[in-house]
Amino acid sequence: MNKRIIIYIVVGILAILTINGSIFILDETQQAIVTQFGKPVGEPRTSPGLNFKIPFLHKVQFFDKRYLEWDGDRNQITTKDKKFIFVDTYARWEITNPLQFFIRLRDERSAQSRLDDILDGETRNAIANHNLLDAVRSTNRDPEVTEEFMEELEVLEEISVGRPRIEEIVLAKANERTSDLGVRVLDFKFKRMNYVNEVRDRVYDRMISERNRIADQFRSEGQGEARIIQGNKERDLAQIQSEAYRKAEEIKGRADAKATEIYAEAYNQNRQSVELYKFLRSMESFEKSLDENTTIILSSDSEFFKFLNELD
One domain, residues 113 and 172: yes
More reliable by pLDDT, 242 or 299: 242
Residue 286 lies in a domain: yes
Domain at 125, CATH number: 3.30.479.30
One domain, residues 81 and 57: no
Q: What is the pLDDT of residues 180-213, one digit of tens each?
A: 999 999 999 999 988 877 777 777 787 888 888 8
Domain count, the chain: 3
> What is the band of 95 on the pLDDT scale with cuts at 50, 70, 90?
very high
Residue 149 lies in a domain: yes
- Checking if the pLDDT of 153 tops 60, the result is no
Q: What is the pLDDT of residues 250-282, one digit of tens each?
A: 888 888 888 777 777 766 666 556 666 666 666
One domain, residues 164 and 121: yes
Residue 264 lies in a domain: no
pLDDT of residue 84: 87
Q: Which of 34-43, 50-59, 92-101, 237-246 has the lowest mean pLDDT?
A: 50-59
One domain, residues 59 and 96: no
One domain, residues 187 and 82: yes
Q: What is the mean pLDDT of residues 207-228?
A: 85
Distance CA 310, CA 312 (A): 5
Please answer whether residues 19 and 54 qualify as being in contact, where contact means their C-beta atoms are separated by less than 8 angstroms. Answer: no
One domain, residues 24 and 93: no
- Residue numbers of the domain that contains 278: 270-311
Please answer whether residues 168 and 119 qualify as being in contact, where contact means their C-beta atoms are separated by less than 8 angstroms. Answer: no
One domain, residues 79 and 185: yes
pLDDT of residue 49: 78
Nearby residues of 304 by Cβ (< 8 Å), 6 or more positions away: 282, 286, 298
One domain, residues 114 and 146: yes
pLDDT of residue 139: 82
Nearest to 87 by CA among 101, 98, 73: 73
Residue 162 lies in a domain: yes
Q: Which of 8-17, 156-165, 240-249 has the lowest mean pLDDT?
A: 8-17
Residue 242 lies in a domain: no
Distance CA 87, CA 136 (A): 11
More reliable by pLDDT, 88 or 159: 88
Residue 148 lies in a domain: yes
**What pTM was estimated for this model as a whole?**
0.59
Q: What is the pLDDT of residues 127-147, one digit of tens each?
A: 999 988 888 888 887 766 566
- Checking if the pLDDT of 168 tops 70, the result is yes
Residue 201 lies in a domain: no
Distance CA 108, CA 101 (A): 9
pLDDT of residue 186: 95
One domain, residues 176 and 151: yes
Give the chain's mean pLDDT. Answer: 81
Residue where a domain stops, chosen among 44, 64, 84: 64
Nearby residues of 3 by Cβ (< 8 Å), 6 or more positions away: none
Residue where a domain stops, chosen among 64, 86, 101: 64
One domain, residues 105 and 170: yes
One domain, residues 72 and 191: yes
Helix axes 271-289, 303-311, angle to 10 degrees: 110
One domain, residues 37 and 81: no
Max mean pLDDT range (13-27, 104-118, 149-163): 104-118
pLDDT of residue 174: 95
Q: What is the pLDDT of residues 13-23, one digit of tens each?
A: 655 655 555 67
Q: What is the pLDDT of residues 73-83, one digit of tens each?
A: 888 898 998 88
pLDDT of residue 132: 86
Residue where a domain stops, chosen among 142, 176, 195: 195
Residue 53 lies in a domain: yes
